[in-house]
Homo-oligomer: A and B are copies of this chain.
Amino acid sequence: MLERQNLRITRQRRTILKELRKDYTHPSADQIYDKVRQTIPRISLGTVYRNLEVLCRLGEIQKLKLGRTKKRFDGNSDFHYHMRCLDCNRLDDAALAPLKSIEDEAGAVTDYKVLGHRLEFVGFCPQCSIQS
């Protein structure tokens, strides 16, 4: 999956993807950096960013840019929605069926060629619901 288009399978690249695959918390780049550093202490943040970019281009992972400024990454590249906690910023999957017809509706009310949509839910996670 990585070997197409002149890309090399480096230890850094392999490790970053592996970490992301087994992580269900939708980590940020620096969180991934911390994880990978346990295996490759001298890896640099720049390398992490560059590889996340490559893996996104390959469709192996996805970048989540809704809401907050800081990006989060998802080892599952299948289309799905997310739910974000307004308090602790936790991010979970929302197992909702993709709204396929909604893009057609959007196309009908604008003069854009609609190619996709991004939907994110916000609220309080179980832990933060208790406190607040």
A residues sitting closer than 8 Å to B (CB atoms) are 65-69, 71, 81, 83, 85-86, 92, 94-96, 99, 102-103, 105-107, 109-126, 129
Contact = CB atoms under 8 A, between A and B. Distances in A.
Nearest to A85: B112
A77 B102 CA distance: 23
Contacts of A107: 123
A86 B109 contact: no
A129 B110 contact: no
Contact of A65 (B68, B94, B121, B123): B68
Contact of A123 (B83, B86, B112, B123): B112
Contact of A103 (B114, B115, B121): B121
Given A66-B66, A68-B65, A69-B69, A115 B110 contact: no
Contacts of A96: 102, 105-106, 109
